[in-house]
């Protein structure tokens, strides 16, 4: 699990968004877990996908674009600039076990609005 120190260091490195908003470091942890479940490709995606909204519905709580950007900085396999990270267009629905140990998971009612049809596969 990402430490607060790792997250704070990555927050300082986020060059993309001047309007940073971080309610809780767990939001970054949740975004990281979601990104970690995805398959990557060599280049950034060409089609716009509202990643922030998709991630927060899986996470069950508000997640900012800045949270997703910091999670991408921390993830060793993710490259590119939001929302055009090097993610496959075939999104993977992460297993809910990835919420374990993240206290802010499911803290809001965002999960009620999750559309499972945006995902091509389900993580085992």
Instruction: Give the ranges where 60-112 is alpha helix by DSSP (H).
Output: 65-74
Statement: the pTM of the whole predicted model exceeds 0.75: yes
Q: Are 92 and 55 in contact (CB under 8 A)?
A: no
pLDDT of residue 18: 56
And the tokens for 120?
A: 């091509």
| Domain range summary for the chain, segments of one domain joined by + | 4-122
pLDDT tens, residue by residue, 28-82: 999 999 999 999 999 876 778 899 999 999 999 999 999 999 999 999 999 998 9
pLDDT of residue 99: 98
And the tokens for 48?
A: 């716009």
Q: CA 91 → CA 14, 55, 86, distances in Å?
A: 24, 11, 12
pLDDT of residue 19: 60
**Burial call 59-68: b when 16+ CB within 10 Å, e when fewer:** bbbbbbbbbb
pLDDT of residue 40: 96
Pick from 77, 55, 59, 79: nearest CA to 68:
55
Q: What gap in Å lies between CA 30 and CA 99, rounded to an integer?
A: 7
pLDDT > 90: percent of the chain = 77
């Amino acid at each position: 699990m990402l430490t607060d120190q790792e997250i704070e260091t990555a927050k300082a490195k986020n060059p993309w968004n001047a309007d940073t908003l971080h309610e809780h470091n767990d939001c970054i942890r949740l975004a990281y877990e979601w990104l970690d479940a995805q398959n990557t490709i060599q280049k950034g995606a060409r089609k716009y996908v509202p990643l922030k909204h998709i991630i927060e519905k899986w996470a069950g709580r508000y997640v900012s674009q800045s949270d997703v950007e910091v999670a991408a900085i921390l993830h060793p396999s993710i490259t590119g600039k939001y929302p055009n990270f090097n993610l496959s267009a075939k999104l993977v629905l992460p297993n809910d076990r990835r919420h374990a140990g993240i206290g802010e998971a499911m803290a809001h009612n965002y999960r009620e609005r999750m559309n499972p049809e945006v995902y091509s596969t389900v993580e085992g």
